[in-house]
Every structure is written in C-alpha cells, then in structure tokens.
Amino acid sequence: MHKKLEPTIHDIARELKISASTVSRALQNNPRISQKTREKIAITAETMGYRPNSMASNLRNKKSNTIGIVVPLINRYFFASVISGVEEVAFKAGYNVVISQSNDLYDKEISIVHSMLAIRVDGLIISIAMQTTTFDHLKIFRKKNIPLVFFDRIVPEIETNKIVVDDCMGAFRITQHLIDQGYQRIGHIAGPQNLTTYQDRRKGYMEALAKNGIAYDESLVVTNSLTLEDGEKAAQYFMGLPDPPDAVFCSNDTTALSAMIYVRDKGIRIPEDFGIVGFSNEPFSRVVTPSISTIAQPAFLMGQKAAELILNQIEHKEKTFKTLVLPSEMILRESSKRKKD
Amino acid sequence: MHKKLEPTIHDIARELKISASTVSRALQNNPRISQKTREKIAITAETMGYRPNSMASNLRNKKSNTIGIVVPLINRYFFASVISGVEEVAFKAGYNVVISQSNDLYDKEISIVHSMLAIRVDGLIISIAMQTTTFDHLKIFRKKNIPLVFFDRIVPEIETNKIVVDDCMGAFRITQHLIDQGYQRIGHIAGPQNLTTYQDRRKGYMEALAKNGIAYDESLVVTNSLTLEDGEKAAQYFMGLPDPPDAVFCSNDTTALSAMIYVRDKGIRIPEDFGIVGFSNEPFSRVVTPSISTIAQPAFLMGQKAAELILNQIEHKEKTFKTLVLPSEMILRESSKRKKD
DNA sequence: TAGATTTGTGCAATCGATTGCATTTTTTAT
DNA sequence: ATAAAAAATGCAATCGATTGCACAAATCTA
C-alpha cells in the first residue's frame, strides 16, 4: 500500500463528480451553492478526513494568518505573560503565533525580523532588544504597510501602534511612597537609557524628588543592565558612599532582590534602616523575605491588547495609530513599609 | 502611484529578460546555471528587494518549515524555558516556531492540535494538558507520519520520541535526603496521577521509603492539582493529623512554597522542626526565606533536545524512536538542611 | 567541419485553494 | 408552453516557486 496523501478539494470533487470550485465554495458556506450540495460535500469532506491546506489558501489569498512576536527573552516572566496574552486572543481569532527571541542582541533581532518578513506575517508585535539603537529593519514594516505593534520597549521615532505601561507614573508613585515613609536620601538603579522604559522610570523618580523639594543628587543614580550582579554592585557602591542613601528605587525586581540581599547581609534592617522598592512585580518579589514593594505591570493584558490592536489593523485596516498607556499598580510590601498605618 | 507589490522571481526574470526557472535555480545556487547569470540575478534580486515567498515554496515543496509547540501554559517558567530552547535550535536550523497553550484544558488541546495539523507543521513538540486522558488527536500524527515529540508530560501508549527528566530518581534522591537529615515521618503532596511525571515522582518517594525500611502510610500522601491553594490545604491537612509528618516532599515548588508559608506561620521552625522540599527549581525557590531544596530540571536543554530530535526526524527521516531521560539535579537549600556538615 | 558531448536555459505542469465570468439548470411569470 | 429571471455549477486563470524534460548553445573530438 503506497503512502496515503492528504485529500484535497479535488479528491472530494472527483468522489462526488462535481467541480473543485463547487467544493471550495461549499466549504466556505458560500450561499451560491445549494444547501443540499453543501451538506453532501461537508459529509464527504468529513469522512475523507479533509483538512484545508492553509499554505495553498494563504498563497492565493496573500495572507499568512500568522502574527509574529519578538521578545528579548521568552523565559522572562513578563515577556512570557505577554506572549500568553497574545496567543489567547490570536488563537480565538484564528491566527497562529510565531515567536522568536532576540536575546537582547541587535544582530539577532535583525535576522529574526527578516525571517518574519520572509514568512509574510500579517503583523508583528515586538519589544526591542537592549542593544537596538537603529531601526531600519523595523521601518520596513511601515514602508510595506505591514501592521506593527510595539510594546513595553518601544521606538518613539516610528509611527505605529504602541503599548506601554505608565512607567513614569509608576516610578513617581513608588518614589513618593518611599518619601512618605520618611526615607530621606533615595537612590536609584536605572536601566539602559536608550530604552524609553527606563528613561521614564528615571524621570518619574526625578519628578517625585522635585515635587518634594529634594535635590537631585547624581551620585545616587547608578545606570547598568539590571542583572542580579548589577544590583549587588550597585548596592555595594551605595553603601560605600560617604553619605549613603537610606532607600533605593530599583528599575526592576531583579536588582531590587540582589541589592536587598547585599544590604541585608550587611546587617542593615529592612525596611527600618533601609527601604527598597523594585519594578515589574516578578513572581518572586511577593515571596521573598522581606517581600519587595514594586509596580505591577499588566503583562497578560498587554499581550491581549497588542493582539487586538494588530488584528484591528489587519482586518479592519484601521489607519490611525494609538499609543495605549496601561495603568500600573503599586504593590506595597514589607521592604518599604516602616510606618504603621 | 499605486501599491508597490513584493517582487517575485517573475519580476526579476522580466527585468533580465530570462525565464523564471533560471531565476529560481540561480537563487538556489543550482550549478546548472552559469556563474555569470547567477551573479547577475543575485544582484538584481538584491536591488529589487526580493524576498522569496515562503508560502509559495512551502506549497510546492509540501513543507512548512515550521515546528509547532504546545504547552499547558506559556508563562510558567519551566515551559517558557523549554520554548526558549526549542526556539534557539529551530531558528538556527531555519525553522519557525508556532506556539499555543492548552491552559491544561483537554478541549483546547484538541483544538490547537487540529490547527497545527491544518497549518501543516513539519513536526510537533508537546507537553500534554493535565486534563488530557485520551489521545486520538495525537495518534493522528503517528498515522500521518508527522514527527511528534513529547516532553515532560508524555503519553506512554504512543510510540514516538520522548524527553523526560528522571523524575523517579529525582524524587528518590530528595526523599532520601530528607531521611538522611533525620526526618522520620515524611509526607508527600502528589500531582495528578494520570500524568507519568507525577506518578514517577510518587514512585521515587515510595521507593526511598521502602529502601529505608519506612512503612508507606497512605494518609501521608495528598493528591491534588499542585496550585498554591492546594499546597496550603495539604499543609493544613498534614498539621491536623493526630500524628503529623515532620517533613514533606512536594511535587512542585509552588506547593512547597505555600505549604512552607502555612507551616512557618504556625510558628513551626523550618528546617529544625519540619523539613520541606519541592521539585522544579522555580526561580523563587532560591530566593525565598528559607530557600527551598528542590530538584532542578534542565528545561532549556530539554527544549534544545526536543528541537534536535524533531529536526532529525524531519530532515534525516530518522525512523527509530528514543526516549531521552535527562538527568535532574538535586539542589539542597535551607528548607531541609538541619544537619551541619 | 560534421558529429558527439557538455553546459546553460526555457517550457509548461505542478502544489491546493480561490474566484471572475460563463454556462447550465431550475424556477417563475406570462 | 415559452420566454425571462434566478439559482447552481463549472471553466480556467491565478497566487509564486519548483522541476522534469526538451531544446539551444557552446565546447570538444576525430
């Protein structure tokens, strides 16, 4: 017995002694095909185990039914959650989701983006790599008019849909919280300043200081890549200052954690003697001791919204671009609450 | 000016006044085309911004260059890491990765798997849903001879490539560790027993008891879905027993964590009065207080291996199936080390 | 220089589904 | 019963890349 191939509409047509066009139309429930034939075809298709070949219809329709998503790292909780949200919405709408990760490398990002173009994704959702500072590879999408959505790490100079959380406001509020708790000298661990995300967090920090009449002290701001090691080094730097800070706002929870461990191991009490807050609400920040105050970003929602935006562009040919700013939520925990309420 | 379409090989052919076949061959570096023509074509393709339409070639070649991956939940660290590993290997090999999540629901899994068939994935990598107990939707792959790889949550009755960690051994060793630490009555929080993963962890636990001449006490084993709440409830149950255990081996870190918090909040000292160990090495287990002893699974490696297996099947038409058992690693932390070494 | 090779290109069919237009069949009106 | 209108179906081209085979051009042989 030779290999059994997948049945096609032609096989169904032959079986029923009708034309392939009729089969095609019937399967799409085209009203021009009589009810009777449609049912007959549906049944035959079912019994023959027919499944439409999407490569063929995609080719003909010039539509891949695929959404691409590019993130720095898939196994980062925030990004994984965004992907999860995208998948949920896309799947319901009948789209497939192709993923790839840049590992925060510029060259890989370029390579990925080109591959996404090659497979003719109907739209691309992307959060750019830390390394990325030029954007020709993304401008192609605008030129070719392929829907493009940036999330979290956006590119201001490209006009398209964008979704961010209110980084500035989040940073402002949590810095204000530190001030409210009576901390006097507040340091900041800032992330790469080529990313608006981290620019904004820094801005929120500075605005909170300004609003409370606290002078901005550049020596209290450390800029790095926000790894565990970076957090520890920053903490070490802070503690070595002649007049060290008594609290620090970290641009992510990872550095908040390693800084906290460093400070704690120095025998400094948290939050009594030193306050720490992070950003992102990583799962661990809730369960470490002391638990870390932070800003929660609605990652899953962000993914859903990103998918909705891109689907609108794809299907309704929405022409206007918006920038969604999703609200962040301040979550206060042990690491910064030294006042009793 | 009307819409500028993507150039095709026909456009290149027209431009150079040659045939599309020649262009096609030249772009594939077919030696039958002269060096000179090949270069000419390469240059024209470049200047025209030509990108092969993969839908067209996929259709013709009956190959989608796509690997599907189905996991219960994308934003679970373990699964996200596996996906990350798959993506890395697949991308290097020129394959795209399409993802979908079952949310541990049987019906969604079926729906996803059918959609993967519809887009004609060249292979599927899957970890089945907790709910899944019948497997017709997966047997289709065997029938149609589409490469299939199970990882972590496998289906024993389907003969194909599989990758697991040594759950039984991991469970055995960490239970043995508890015994070595002098714990006498060791409980177990078991996961859904329709999954081999959790069967094996339970088996390892029982074997360790047996080896040490400890009678198996059914009242010390709780089976549930391993959520945070389940862990807390289990702990509550254990502590309410007339003769409660003095240690517990939890089938995942999530229940280990919530059980630990419950026990700790009861004022019981960990590890002095009560030992806790988990499974999976979730990122948080290292940073909570006390840190949780656990079994690390090489998730990223698992993803890489899964991709390699499936690529071998796809490209070299490898006929034999193997079951890779990756070694797990025992990571001892504060929650179970009460003896000084 | 004619004939045999080798090398380079092109023709046309193919992959499977879709669709404008033409054609056939059925229904309705007169 | 017959023309006109409506409904159902089929033909053939198309989407873009690939490839077996045929044919043409260049090179070699005697």
Is the pLDDT score of B324 beyond 50? yes
Residues 4-23, chain A: which have Cβ within 8 Å of B? 6
Phi-psi region of A17 (alpha: psi -120 to 50; beta: other; left: phi over 0): left
CB of B20 nearer than 7 A to strand D = yes
**Span A74-100, pLDDT tens digits:** 999 999 999 999 999 999 999 999 999
- The pLDDT score that the predictor gives to residue A3 is 41
Between CA B49 and CA A277 the distance in angstroms is 49
pLDDT (tens digit per residue) in B228-281: 999 999 999 999 999 999 999 999 999 999 999 999 999 999 999 999 999 999
Residue B10 one-letter amino acid = H
- Residue B3's pLDDT band, with cuts at 50, 70 and 90, is very low
- How far is CA B78 from each of CA A80, B85, B88, rounded to the nearest angstrom? 11, 11, 16
Residue nearest to nucleotide C6 (CA to C1'): B32
Percent of chain A with pLDDT over 70: 99
- How far apart CA B231 and CA B256 sit, in angstroms, is 7
Question: What integer pLDDT is reported at residue A1 of this predicted model?
Answer: 30
**Predicted pLDDT at B318:** 76
* β A329-331/A294-296 pair status: antiparallel
Q: What is the model's pLDDT at position B1?
A: 29
Report yes or no: B97 and A80 within 8 Å, Cβ to Cβ.
no
Q: Is the Cβ–Cβ distance between B27 and B41 less than 8 Å? A: yes
Q: Compute the average pLDDT of residues B139-168.
A: 95
Non-local (6+) Cβ contacts of B258 within 8 A are B228, B229, B230, B231, B232, B235
Is A288's CB within 8 Å of B283's CB? no
> Taking the model in full, what pTM does it have?
0.93
Average pLDDT in chain B: 94
Task: Give per-residue pLDDT as tens, A220-254.
Answer: 999 999 999 999 999 999 999 999 999 999 999 99
Give the H or E element holding residue A273. none
Residue A97: name the closest of A149, A166, A34, A21 by CA.
A149
Q: Is the CB of B31 less than 7 A from some atom of nucleic acid strand C?
A: yes
Give the CA distances from residue B167 to residues A204, B46, B128, B130, B279, in Å, rounded to whole numbers and listed in that order.
Answer: 47, 52, 16, 17, 9
Of A223, A162, A179, A168, which is closest to residue A201 (Cα–Cα)? A168
User: Contact, A211 vs A176, CB < 8 A?
Assistant: yes
φ, ψ of residue B336 to 5 degrees: the values are -135, 0
Residue A331: Cβ-neighbour burial (10 angstroms; 0-12, 13-18, 19+): middle
Chain B CB contacts of A6 under 8 Å are 144
Res. A340: pLDDT tops 80:
no
Which residues in 308-327 of chain A line strand D, with CB less than 7 A from it?
Answer: none
Q: What is the mean pLDDT of chain A?
A: 94
Q: What pLDDT does B86 receive? A: 98
For B77-118, what is each residue's pLDDT tens digit?
999 999 999 999 999 999 999 999 999 999 999 999 999 999
- pLDDT band, residue A318 (cuts 50/70/90): confident
List the beta bridge partners of residue A324. A163
Question: What whole-number percentage of chain A has pLDDT above 90?
Answer: 92
Report residue B141 as tokens: 């792959």
Can you tell me the mean pLDDT for A263-283? 95
- CA-closest candidate to residue A125, choices A156, A167, A83, A65: A83
- Give me B184's structure tokens: 């006498």
Closest residue by Cα to the C1' atom of nucleotide D18?
B60
Chain C positions within 7 A of any protein Cβ atom are 7-12, 14-20
Q: Which residues of B touch A87 (CB under 8 A)?
A: 74, 99-101
Report the pLDDT value the prediction gives residue B297, as an integer from 0 to 100.
96
Give the mean model confidence (pLDDT) for residues A13-33. Answer: 92
Q: Which residue of A has its CA nearest to B79?
A: A75
pLDDT in tens, B115-145: 999 999 999 999 999 999 999 999 999 999 9
Distance from CA of B221 to the nearest CA of A (A): 25
3-state percent breakdown (helix, strand, coil) of chain B, nearest 5: 45, 15, 40
Interface of A with B in 69-88 (CB under 8 A): 73-77, 80-81, 83-84, 87-88
pLDDT (0 to 100) of residue A341: 64
The enclosing H or E element of A238 equals helix A228-240
Strands (E), chain A: 66-71, 96-101, 123-126, 148-151, 161-165, 186-190, 221-223, 247-250, 275-277, 294-296, 323-326, 329-331
Q: Is strand D in 7 Å reach of the CB of B10?
A: yes
> Which residue type is seen at B202?
R
CA of A307 to C1' of C10 (A): 46
Taking only the tens place, the pLDDT of each residue in B197-215 is 999 999 999 999 999 999 9
Question: How do residues A106-156 score in pLDDT, each as one tens digit?
Answer: 999 999 999 999 999 999 999 999 999 999 999 999 999 999 999 999 999
Reported confidence tier of residue A105, pLDDT bands at 50, 70, 90: very high
Q: What is B148-162 written as a DSSP string?
A: EEEESS--TTS-SEE
